[in-house]
């Protein structure tokens, strides 16, 4: 999917007036699309949820899949947004997958996600490389259970807002979209309620918005202004300079967006690259030159000095 982007929302207050496109103030007011869907990351804990769960067959056009593949909740949450947003131009792969999956039950949908080679490869390409077994290290340390984190999706669909959690037996209806209000106002109380279930010290939450790619809309706005200039008569030339200035400002914003997208591509490549082989080669080279012991000793000294300095600072 090429015409969408992911943007982090840092505060629930931002949901009250959220539109990633109009952050470029020159964009036309007729652009009303804010977010195709939200993805919420939180620390999972076992709890009793008394909210009514809708059977997926009661909403046949809504894509809901149960999570049957371990650690696939992030990919499943993304698919829940993409496959329930008619405004998104899906790739042929996702179109074919959706056409097939809409005819099967929610558990079979989850199985189909795990058995799709293309989706599995895309998911696994972001897995952390780890060729070093940690079993021996863990045995020598006190055993500690790792925190489990979970992704769920919130989507607007046919005038209503749903929570899609693959660990639940079905979708949860959050409410109707009131005419004249953005659907994000419906979803905010549900997110606040979930966050309030945790202690005040808990900060491990992340809220992401899947939204239109801003660079595409800025490009369309530039083209619109250029057509407007071309259609002007001689008498309209007095406004020509103001339109030219708008184009220049939009072009600067477009350049910034393209730079940001390119930077994100580089960061993605770095995250997905396996640096372990070169690290092992470097360690072997240092061992061959008998430098590892001295490097380790220096590191231990720096650690001890830092700990002593921190203790003295705390005493003060």
Q: Which residues are catalytic?
A: 73, 150
Query: b vs e for 171-181, b when ≥16 Cβ sit within 10 Å of the residue's Cβ?
Result: bbbbeebeeee
Q: Which residues contact 299 (CB under 8 A, 6 or more apart)?
A: none
Report the C-alpha gap between 158 and 86 in whole angstroms: 10
Report the C-alpha gap between 135 and 312 in whole angstroms: 36
* Three-state secondary-structure class, residue 164: strand
User: In the chain, where do the E strands start and end?
Assistant: 4-9, 37-43, 149-157, 160-164, 172-176, 206-212
Report the C-alpha gap between 131 and 207 in whole angstroms: 31
């Amino acid at each position: 999917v090429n015409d969408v982007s992911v943007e982090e929302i840092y505060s629930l207050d931002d949901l009250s007036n959220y539109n990633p496109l109009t952050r470029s103030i020159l964009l036309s007011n007729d652009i009303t699309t804010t977010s195709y869907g939200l993805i919420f990351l939180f620390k999972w804990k076992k709890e009793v949820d008394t909210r009514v769960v809708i059977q997926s067959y009661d909403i046949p056009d809504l894509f809901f899949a149960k999570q049957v593949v371990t650690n696939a909740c992030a990919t499943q949450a993304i698919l829940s947004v993409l496959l329930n947003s008619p405004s998104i131009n899906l790739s042929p792969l996702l179109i074919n997958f959706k056409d097939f999956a809409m005819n099967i039950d929610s558990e079979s949908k989850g199985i189909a996600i795990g058995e799709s080679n293309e989706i599995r490869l895309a998911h696994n390409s972001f897995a952390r490389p780890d060729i070093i077994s940690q079993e021996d290290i863990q045995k020598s340390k006190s055993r500690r259970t790792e925190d489990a984190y979970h992704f769920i999706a919130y989507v607007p669909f046919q005038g209503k807002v749903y929570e899609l959690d693959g660990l639940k037996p079905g979708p949860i209806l959050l409410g109707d979209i009131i005419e004249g209000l953005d659907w994000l106002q419906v979803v905010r109380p549900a997110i606040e309620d979930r966050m309030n279930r945790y202690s005040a010290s808990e900060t491990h939450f992340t809220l992401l918005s899947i939204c239109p790619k801003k660079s595409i809309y800025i490009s369309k706005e530039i083209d619109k202004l250029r057509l407007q200039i071309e259609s002007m008569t001689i008498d309209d030339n007095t406004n020509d300079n103001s339109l030219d200035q708008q184009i220049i400002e939009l072009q600067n914003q477009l350049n910034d967006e393209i730079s940001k997208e390119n930077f994100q591509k580089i960061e993605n490549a770095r995250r997905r690259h396996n640096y372990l082989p070169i690290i092992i080669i470097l360690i072997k080279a240092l061992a061959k030159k008998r430098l590892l012991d001295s490097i380790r000793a220096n590191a231990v000294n720096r650690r001890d000095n830092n700990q002593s300095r921190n203790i003295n600072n705390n005493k003060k």
